[in-house]
């Protein structure tokens, strides 16, 4: 992906455009047998997840992490695709984005990357749970461990950031400050639970100073959902010394972040997670269940329903933030 | 302090050379009354602590932090002294190091910086608890929250690092890897509980790669007790992805640390604390109690007993790491 900053959101778009694809079929009998062990059958409704859950490695067996040693991210994270693609075209290898490659009518994935979901779940909606919603929501609930009555700041109001706002609200945050340079997103953020809105373009001083003043010392939790190193630094500095927790949710491989030791020594914690800290299969299954029980908003994320052949048009809409 | 890297250890030395000074006297009646509220009387044995504990601010009232809004570090951390010194010489202000200035026979400090200790406690020993021992020990126990059966790495084996080794051991760590470029310190580290010793000078590859290989993926917890940004980065990279926790214990104002977002997104946590996360007064009182009950090593830190007039000689010994 040349324009790296778009990769995370592109992933969401990919899944959301893939409304017909998430039904399972098997190419080989041995695959069937292996999958059968986990109660998957041909025709089951599934959601493909870029992170695997093999249930057998020491990471999968630990409640402390959602990492899996069989994840392609274990081998390589310097590009957004594993190098062992299952596809080629005219003899040339085609990489599968995030190990899935869901911008296709059919794809081939490992069973450890498939979450079986409720047979009544609407695929054209719950597909969003397979990346952006879990990533944002889980970053608030699982990684930051947002506390009841706390004050939070969410930087960036794409699908991931909106889901983070929803996670903060679910965790009982009293005040949720939504930060974005596009004020058109504030209306949507309000639906998910944001209470305050800050556009960095409206202020001449650094945005973390604005937040520290607004909150009399800094927020308890901040979540960076952009994938920009300087925003990650702002998000850290927006938290209150003493107990502030800042979570890096956005992804970038082209930048590094920098801070002074005293920024952490004064009591702050800087952390991050893939996929919002959710175990890949368990998390998706649980979140789909919550949606079916009307305890989780999903429909509210959807602005367009487009066919796969309109994919380039969809990407352009996303780049222009038309929603 | 010109040679910044020495400030933290100098602080310990200052206190340890101050064996006669830690008895309380009051200059003014109003001071007495205020102190009286906290059961301090003239003649009490006390340990001065650079961090305050006023017991009244929202930080002091929270169990989540040991910060205090009345601490001088709240106002300024860009120099190692508060600017409102109580001393002058020939009309020129003399700064009090860490707000205490204990390289004197007499000093003037705020009551919120004094921890009252057991009347039988030997001042020439327990004075060490007032800085280095709490900082290192607490960083393992309170900040990293080292877990039973875990693997830890401690970078730097000065007083703070040795206390961190002792903290890891007290928390039940199974394996404690002590890292220092001076192998003479390994014998001492062993006394405090270190099980493995690594001298970065013995290896051509980066030290974090050595540790990751030694531990089949990285340590669970790492503690940087040097005050060097590149060592802080090594300490982070030495931890296992998925759940590694790295704590910045050493202090530097002249350097910044840098890392890639993926270093945290892969599941690591980077944090820090002042004074090992101990509430200033409560922590010192508790640690002195543990020493009196023979549950905490203190005598083992002492290599020399020197008079205050030998202070420059003591500083030279420290610089040469003669112990």
Domain range summary for chain A, segments of one domain joined by +: 23-131+277-320, 136-276
Within 8 A by CB and 6+ apart from B37, the residues are: none
Q: How confident is the model at residue B88 (pLDDT cuts 50, 70, 90)?
A: confident
Contact A229 B261 (CB under 8 A): yes
Does A132 score more than 60 pLDDT? yes
More confident: A105 or B314: B314
Q: How far apart are CA B165 and CA B192, in angstroms?
A: 6
Confidence (pLDDT) at A297: 98
| Interface contact B242-A273, CB threshold 8 A | no
As a whole-number percent, the residues of chain A with pLDDT over 90 amount to: 64
Q: Which residue has the tokens 């929202």?
A: B58
Q: Is the CB of B273 less than 8 angstroms away from the CB of A265?
A: yes
What per-residue confidence (pLDDT) applies to B74? Answer: 67
CA distance A133 to A137: 6
- Per cent of chain A over pLDDT 70 is 84
pLDDT band at A77 (very low <50, low <70, confident <90, very high): low
Q: What is the distance between the alpha carbons of residues B129 and B171, in angstroms, rounded to a whole number?
A: 18
- Distance (Å, whole) CA A251 – CA A8: 7
Query: For B233-301, where are the E strands, in sequence order?
Result: 245-248, 257-259, 269-272
Determine, for residues B267 and A264 on separate chains, whether the beta-carbon distance falls below 8 Å: no
Interface test with B, best of A226, A262, A268, A277 (most B CBs within 10 A): A262
CA distance A257 to chain B (A): 6
| B25 has a pLDDT exceeding 70 | no
Residue A301 · residue A133 · CB < 8 Å: yes
- Cα of A65 to nearest chain B Cα, Å: 5
Average pLDDT over residues B43-52: 89
B97 vs A221: CA distance, rounded Å: 33
Residues of chain A contacting residue B67, judged by C-beta atoms under 8 Å apart:
241-242, 266-267
Find out whether A152 and A220 touch, Cβ atoms under 8 Å.
Answer: yes
Query: What mean pLDDT comes out for the span B210-238?
Result: 98
Sole residue written with tokens 């013995």: B202
Q: Tell me the residues of B at the A interface, defined by beta carbons under 8 Å apart.
A: 59, 62, 64-67, 73, 77, 227, 229, 232, 241-243, 248, 250-253, 255-262, 264-274
**What's the token pair of residue A150?**
């706390």
Position A44 scores a pLDDT of 83
A270-282 mean pLDDT: 96
* Assigned superfamily of B23-131+277-320: Medium-chain alcohol dehydrogenases, catalytic domain (3.90.180.10)
> Where is B161: in which H helix or E strand?
helix B159-170
pTM of the model: 0.88
The mean pLDDT value for B45-68 works out to: 94
Cross-chain residue pair B264–A242, CB shorter than 8 Å = no
Q: How far apart are CA A196 and CA A186, in angstroms?
A: 9
* Span B200-209, pLDDT tens digits: 999 999 999 9
Distance CA A197, CA A214 (A): 11
Query: What are the CA-CA distances from residue A184 to residues A210, A305, B73 (Å)?
Result: 20, 20, 41
CATH of A136-276, picked from 3.40.50.720, 3.40.50.2300, 3.40.720.10, 3.40.50.1370, is: 3.40.50.720
Which of B216, B248, B256, B262 is the mutation pick for testing A, counting most A CBs within 10 A? B262
**% of chain B surpassing 90 pLDDT:** 63
Residue bearing the bigger pLDDT, B308 or B233: B233
CB contact under 8 A, A259 and B257: yes
> pLDDT tens digits, residue range B113-144?
999 899 899 988 999 999 999 999 999 999 99
For B29, half-sphere exposure in the C-beta direction (CA atoms, 13 angstrom radius) is 0
Average pLDDT over residues A143-147: 98
> B223 has which bridge partners?
B154, B247
Distant-in-sequence, close-in-space partners of A232: CB < 8 Å, separation ≥ 6: A224, A246, A248, A250, A257, B261
With residue A92 as reference, give the H or E element that holds it.
strand A92-94
Model confidence at A108, in pLDDT bands (50, 70, 90)? confident
pLDDT per residue over B134-193, tens digit each?
999 999 999 999 999 999 999 999 999 999 999 999 999 999 999 999 999 999 999 999
The pLDDT of residue A225 is 98
């Amino acid at each position: 992906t040349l324009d790296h900053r778009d990769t995370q959101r592109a992933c969401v778009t990919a899944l959301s455009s893939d409304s017909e694809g998430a039904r399972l079929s098997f190419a080989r009998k041995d695959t069937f047998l292996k999958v059968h062990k986990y109660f998957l059958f041909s025709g089951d409704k599934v959601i493909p997840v870029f992170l695997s859950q093999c249930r057998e490695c020491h990471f999968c067996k630990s409640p402390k992490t959602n990492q899996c040693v069989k994840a392609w991210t274990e081998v390589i994270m310097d590009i957004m695709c594993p190098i062992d693609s299952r596809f080629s075209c005219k003899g040339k290898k085609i990489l599968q984005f995030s190990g899935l490659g869901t911008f296709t009518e059919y794809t081939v994935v490992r069973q450890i990357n498939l979450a079986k979901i409720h047979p009544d779940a609407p695929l054209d909606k719950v597909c969003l749970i397979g990346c952006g919603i879990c990533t944002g929501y889980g970053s608030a609930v699982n990684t930051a461990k947002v506390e009841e009555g706390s004050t939070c700041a969410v930087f960036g109001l794409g699908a991931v950031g909106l889901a983070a706002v929803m996670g903060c609200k679910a965790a009982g945050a009293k005040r949720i400050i939504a930060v974005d340079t596009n004020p058109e997103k504030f209306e949507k953020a309000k639906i998910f639970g944001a209470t305050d809105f800050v556009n960095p373009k409206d202020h001449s001083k650094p945005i973390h100073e604005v937040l520290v003043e607004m909150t009399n010392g800094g927020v308890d939790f901040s979540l960076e959902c952009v994938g920009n190193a300087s925003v990650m630094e702002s998000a850290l500095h927006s938290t209150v010394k003493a107990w502030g927790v800042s979570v890096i949710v956005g992804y970038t491989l082209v930048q590094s972040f920098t801070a002074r030791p005293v920024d952490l020594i004064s009591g702050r914690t800087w952390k991050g997670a893939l996929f919002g800290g959710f175990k890949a299969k368990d998390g998706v299954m649980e979140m789909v269940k919550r949606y079916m029980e009307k305890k989780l908003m999903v429909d509210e994320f959807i602005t367009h329903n487009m066919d796969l052949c309109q994919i380039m048009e969809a990407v352009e809409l996303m780049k222009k933030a038309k929603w």
